[in-house]
Amino acid sequence: MMWQVFSFMDNVQTDQYEALLADKTQQIQQQFSSFNIPELQVFASEPQHFRLRAEFKIWHEGERCFHAMFERGTKNKPIEVTNFPIASKAIANLMPELLQVINQTPILKNRLFQVEYLNTLSGDMLVTLIYHRQLNDEWITEANKLKDKFGIHIIGRAKKLRILLDQDHVIEELEVDGLKLKYKQIEGGFTQPNGKMNQHMLAWARDCVNGSNDFDLLELYCGNGNFSIALADKFRRVFATEISKTSVRAANDNKEMNNIKNVSFAKVSAEEFTAHMSGERLRRRLKDMNLEEANFGTVLVDPPRSGLDEESCKMISSYPNIIYISCNPETLEENLKELCKTHDIKNFALFDQFPYTHHIECGVYLVAK
């Protein structure tokens, strides 16, 4: 392996990107060789300015504060981040300018300990300033000046306090297969950090399910409806579940923004859905979705790093087609051992969501034997 080991991004060598991606490709090919996978589809990231989310501790030293990251395992040896080439250009450009103003404004600087940036391909920007003190009207006045100066949204946070100067979200606009899609991305909610790679993933999933219009789609772990919204026109109906109340609320907003009528979201976990479908424990939210009328041709899962539990894995193996989006090759490998008892792997993709790290995102499309 040629992994570049680092805990901050000042010295990213973008000329190493192709070699690092080749290492990931080789790792996946070797790890899944026993599954007789088809030719691996590899989707490369932009080498720079690909990340739309960034979080930094703020370190105070003398009369100034700065963005800081730390060597792994240390908390008191800050490394000042003066250049962050993996961030979107908007974040990278805003970081020094924002801190310059904050350093000149005592009420904004006082006990500030973290800054979080959330950007979109469409240019929307939300900045969250987190403090070890309570915020008052004077802070609101200066924060509004900051918001107006940079044309951004700002949230102030402290213990048991959250101040919205205008809104708690940004609106992303993606183009996938000629479709223009809008997504509300809420502060603190999960979003795909690499926007262009997300477009590749959505287009890949759409290509997998061509010809599915007479069937329904079941999606588990749907988040803010990222895949549900993009795949809606490929199916008769889409039934999607998610445990996060915030994400389900955003998913329903996204459904309305995109004028989609054939998608239904329910706040239940994958385990609860599995128990409902087996008749072990019925959930009212699912009873209201008329699942008995569904004709599921495809199930899509995008589980956390822990992968699918045993019962959920058995449950999805009953569907003709499976799209499995994975952020952890180890748990994907374990789940495929079960799924490949009933299904064959038709497509296998590597999406380089996180360049210069060991993290690997995969997509697998399986069809029943």
| CA nearest to 274, candidates 314, 321, 238 | 314
Gap between the terminal Cα atoms of the chain: 36
- 222 catalytically annotated: no
For 43, 73, 106, 136, the CA distances from 110, given in Å and listed in that order, are 44, 27, 6, 12
Are residues 127 and 152 in contact, defined by beta-carbon separation less than 8 angstroms? Answer: yes
* Amino acid identity for residue 56 in this structure: F
| CA nearest to 323, candidates 306, 347, 307 | 347
- 175 catalytically annotated: no
β-pairing, 237-241 vs 216-220, is parallel
User: Partners of 325 in the beta sheet?
Assistant: 363
> Looking at 65, 222, 313, 327, which residue is catalytic?
327
> Looking at 242, 272, 361, 362, which residue is catalytic?
361
CA distance 335 to 56: 35
| Helix 329-339 and helix 17-31, axial crossing angle in degrees, nearest 10 | 30
Are residues 257 and 182 in contact, defined by beta-carbon separation less than 8 angstroms? Answer: yes
Helix (H, G, I), strand (E, B) or coil at 319: coil
Q: Which stretches of the chain are assigned E, i.e. beta strand?
A: 41-43, 53-61, 64-70, 78-80, 112-119, 125-131, 153-158, 161-164, 169-176, 179-186, 216-220, 237-241, 263-266, 296-301, 321-326, 343-351, 361-368
Are residues 365 and 339 in contact, defined by beta-carbon separation less than 8 angstroms? Answer: no
| Helix 137-150 and helix 89-103, axial crossing angle in degrees, nearest 10 | 140
CA distance 41 to 361: 12
For 72, 101, 287, the CA distances from 54, given in Å and listed in that order, are 17, 19, 40
Residues classed as catalytic: 327, 361
